[in-house]
């Protein structure tokens, strides 16, 4: 088990290093000049050259990359071009909000999706199965930003029971905090749940045809025990895979949701940085998202070994 963790950890570090190269190149391929955008059309060449040198943008790309990588390793993520403040505190202060907006819907949707997926599989080809399948397919067809707008129109405009956007800290007003979280969280749940339902249903349909399930039924085990204890336990590998993919997918989708609801997380910070061509802020935000995705994949690989002992010895 220890050797497996060390091996996966080493490969994850290598992936992060390759991602730093990709992030740096993609950011610098963005159209537009952040220095000219910041100083305006009437800036002198001397002012542009001085500010370009301040942010090391006058050096060749390989030198810029190694300077940036060295600063990242030292915990110095640079200074924002637009706000003139340190990047790291801004990113880390907003990161908990983004993680909360990703993890809460992930685990809530997983719990509901497992129950609905098992019910759908155990009642294969029934009206219940058909209804769950049609409902999940319909939700899967709706883009998440459109789902958010529809929920906003219904609950904030028509019914006027929830705020249309924004965020209130729980220390300020816990009631308003809960209200500000409902629409973004529900939108994320409705976006991520359908694919998990379909995956659980498909996996359970295969497992429920196995001989040991038939044997468990003939021994007099209840349907719930056959489905949730014997069947679901042997479907955990694909469920764990789906959960990791779901979290990484939500990390991308949260950017859109934060924009729709003006939720002050890292995703909204990234979008604003892209608009203003704020290279240090863009690189820091994407780097943090990449670290989270790599970490989730690492934890998933470790979970595989815990779920199935054969994996740790393979």
Note the pLDDT of residue 313. 47
Structure tokens at 207: 């497992």
Structure tokens at 257: 């949701």
* CA separation for the pair 298, 307 (Å, rounded): 14
Q: What is the pLDDT along the chain (314 residues), one digit of tens a residue?
A: 677 777 778 888 888 888 888 888 887 777 766 676 666 666 677 777 887 777 777 788 888 888 888 888 888 887 887 778 888 888 889 999 888 888 888 888 888 888 888 888 888 888 988 998 899 888 888 888 888 899 999 998 888 888 888 888 888 888 889 998 999 999 988 888 888 888 888 887 777 777 777 777 777 777 777 766 666 666 666 777 777 777 777 777 788 888 889 888 898 898 888 887 788 888 888 888 888 888 888 887 777 767 666 555 45
Distances (CA, A) of 234 to 202, 222, 237, 240, 308: 13, 17, 7, 11, 9
Q: Per the domain annotation, does 270 fall within a domain?
A: no
DSSP annotation of 227 reads I
Three-class SS of 82-115: CCCCEHHHHHHHHHHHHHHHHHHHHHHHHHHHHH
Residue 259 CB contacts under 8 Å (≥ 6 apart), including other chains: 145, 267, 268, 271
Q: Per the domain annotation, does 280 fall within a domain?
A: no
Count of structural domains, the chain? 1
Structure tokens at 219: 């021994």
Domain that holds residue 172: 106-264+297-312
Q: Per the domain annotation, does 231 fall within a domain?
A: yes
Looking up residue 235, the CATH number of its domain turns out to be 1.10.3720
Crossing angle for the helix pair 236-261 and 87-122, nearest 10 degrees? 130
Structure tokens at 145: 């930003």
User: Which runs of E-coded beta strand occur in 99-141?
Assistant: none
210 three-state secondary structure: coil
Q: Per the domain annotation, does 269 fall within a domain?
A: no
Residue 86 forms beta bridges with which residues? 79
Residues in the chain: 314
Q: Per the domain annotation, does 214 fall within a domain?
A: yes
List phi, psi (to 5°) of 79.
-115, 135
Q: Per the domain annotation, does 166 fall within a domain?
A: yes
Query: Model pTM?
Result: 0.76
Structure tokens at 176: 């308003």
* CA separation for the pair 136, 97 (Å, rounded): 28
Q: Per the domain annotation, does 10 fall within a domain?
A: no
Q: Per the domain annotation, does 36 fall within a domain?
A: no
């Amino acid at each position: 088990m220890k050797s497996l963790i060390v091996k996966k950890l080493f490969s994850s570090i290598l992936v992060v290093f390759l991602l730093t190269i990709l992030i740096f190149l993609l950011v610098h391929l963005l159209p537009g000049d952040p220095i000219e955008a910041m100083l305006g059309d009437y800036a002198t060449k001397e002012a542009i050259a001085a500010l370009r040198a301040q942010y090391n943008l006058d050096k060749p790309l390989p030198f810029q990359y190694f300077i940036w990588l060295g600063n990242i390793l030292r915990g110095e993520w640079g200074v924002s071009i637009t706000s003139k403040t340190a990047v790291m505190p801004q990113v880390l202060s907003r990161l908990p909000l983004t993680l909360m907006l990703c993890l809460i819907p992930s685990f809530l949707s997983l719990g509901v999706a497992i129950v609905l997926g098992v019910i759908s599989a155990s009642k294969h080809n029934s009206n219940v199965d058909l209804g769950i399948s049609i409902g999940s397919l319909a939700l899967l067809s709706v883009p998440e930003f459109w789902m958010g707008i529809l929920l906003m129109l219904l609950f904030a405009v028509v019914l006027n029971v929830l705020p249309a956007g924004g965020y209130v800290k729980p220390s300020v007003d816990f009631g308003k905090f809960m209200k500000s979280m409902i629409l973004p969280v529900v939108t994320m749940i409705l976006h991520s749940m359908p694919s998990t339902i379909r995956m659980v249903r498909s996996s359970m349909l295969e497992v429920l045809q196995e001989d040991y399930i038939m044997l468990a039924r003939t021994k007099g085990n209840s349907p719930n025990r056959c489905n949730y204890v014997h069947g679901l336990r042997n479907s955990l590998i694909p469920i764990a895979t789906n959960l990791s993919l779901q979290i990484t997918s939500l990390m991308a989708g949260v950017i859109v949701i934060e924009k729709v609801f003006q939720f002050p997380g890292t995703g909204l910070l990234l979008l604003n940085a892209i608009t203003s061509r704020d290279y240090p802020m863009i690189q820091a935000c994407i780097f943090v998202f990449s670290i989270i995705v790599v970490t989730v994949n690492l934890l998933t690989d470790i979970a595989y070994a815990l779920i199935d002992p054969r994996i740790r010895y393979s």
